[in-house]
Amino acid sequence: MKIDKSILTWTKDDLEVLRDDPYNLEDMNIEYKVQYNRDVHELRRDIVSFANSEVGGYILYGIRDDPFELIGMIRGEVDKLKNTIDHIINLKIDPRLDPPPISHPIYLNNNLYVLGVQVFPKQSGIYAIRRNNNSNKPDFRLYSFWIRSDGRKRQISMEEVNSYIIKTDPYKKRIEVRIHINTFLPDLGKERLISINGVNKSIRPIIVNSYGFQVKNDNDKGLGLFIQPPNLHPGTRFNTSLPIKLQDGELCSAYYPIKNLKEDLAENNITLPISIKGVINTTDGMFYSEEKELSEKML
């Protein structure tokens, strides 16, 4: 589920919208915890894994994941956890988190709160967790590296660390591609869309020539759907005109009606479930989003 707003603006209404959303699963962007389990090592890994992701993320304390339920925490627990977070981010994380995470208590009722923690992504390089914070100890220079993957944190190897650093090199041309299911646009009413967004994550400009989706089912039957060009389903008039030169941080977007996806799958005899990912074609190569799984029930 895509969330992109400051945790400082969240209210109980936002949590109830989250509760009522059938796609409120833990993912790259969000994690739920009933309470803080007093494990500072796990807390540090949670924060670093979000900080090493491309989008950062939110940790919400006081929410049960399965089934989703707003449990809440008492004020004293919230205060202790906020103090713990402020303490641990200055210990054993190298380099220091910049900007640091921010936390915000969201009032439920009956003196209960959900504590939301927003972690911001690192623009380049990678954060590490130091084994020991005492420079006189032999393991002072030993580190572990954590990233967010499939809605969970995982430790990565030195080979992956090197690849990660190269990928986030601001001088290397790179488009960050994201795909979101069940997007809605005001002018299209309740029509459900799949969207892809591409952001230039390098200092140098990149020329985008086309964008679209790639789908594949369990039988490895695949299909490439390039929305523009050619201008597939021109009724969707919110797509960025191409070609376009994106400067650092600039965005291009494409929207694809789910009803048209069903028609295209049927026309090409591709059956659900499928995996789908966004693709953006540039003069410097192809860039892809993470894959999303789509089933008949979801469509």
For every one of its 299 residues, what pLDDT tens digit does the chain have, with 9 covering 90 and above? 556 689 999 999 989 988 888 777 777 789 999 999 889 999 999 999 999 987 899 999 999 988 899 999 999 999 999 999 988 888 899 998 988 999 999 999 999 999 999 999 887 789 999 988 888 888 888 999 999 877 789 998 888 888 777 777 666 788 999 998 877 766 666 778 888 899 998 888 999 988 888 888 877 666 677 666 655 555 555 678 888 999 999 999 888 888 888 888 888 888 888 888 999 999 888 899 988 888 877 76
Three-state DSSP class for residue 129: strand
**pLDDT value of residue 17:** 87
Q: How far apart are CA 60 and CA 71, in angstroms?
A: 11
Q: What is the pTM (predicted TM-score) of this model?
A: 0.58
Q: Which pLDDT does position 58 carry in this prediction? A: 94
Note the pLDDT of residue 227: 64
Helix locations, the chain, DSSP H: 12-20, 40-51, 75-88, 158-167, 258-267
Evaluate the CA torsion angle 76, 80, 81, 83 in order and state its sign. positive
Report the pLDDT value the prediction gives residue 272, as an integer from 0 to 100.
83
Q: What is the pLDDT of residue 101?
A: 94
Distance of CA 131 to the CA centre of its chain: 27
User: CATH for 175-294, among 3.20.20.300, 2.60.40.10, 1.10.3720.10, 3.30.499.10?
Assistant: 2.60.40.10
pLDDT at 114: 96
Check residue 54 and give its pLDDT: 79
**Angle value at C-alpha 21, between 19 and 26, nearest 5 degrees:** 75
Per CATH, the number for 7-167 is: 3.30.950
- Give the model's pLDDT for residue 237: 55
**Quick one: which of 200, 220, 226, 205 has its CA closest to 278?**
226
**Which pair of structure tokens corresponds to residue 74?**
């008492």
Residue extents of the structural domains in the chain: 7-167, 175-294
> Which pLDDT does position 132 carry in this prediction?
85
Which string of DSSP letters, residue by residue, matches 53-90? SSS-EEEEETEETTTTEE--EEHHHHHHHHHHHHHHTT
Residue of 1, 31, 33, 35 whose CA lies nearest to 18: 1
pLDDT at 273: 86
What is the reported pLDDT for 220?
A: 66
Q: DSSP for 237-272?
A: TTSPPSSEEE-TT-EEEEEEEHHHHHHHHHHTT-PS
Q: HSE of 139 in the Cβ direction (CA atoms, 13 Å)?
A: 7
pLDDT at site 88: 85
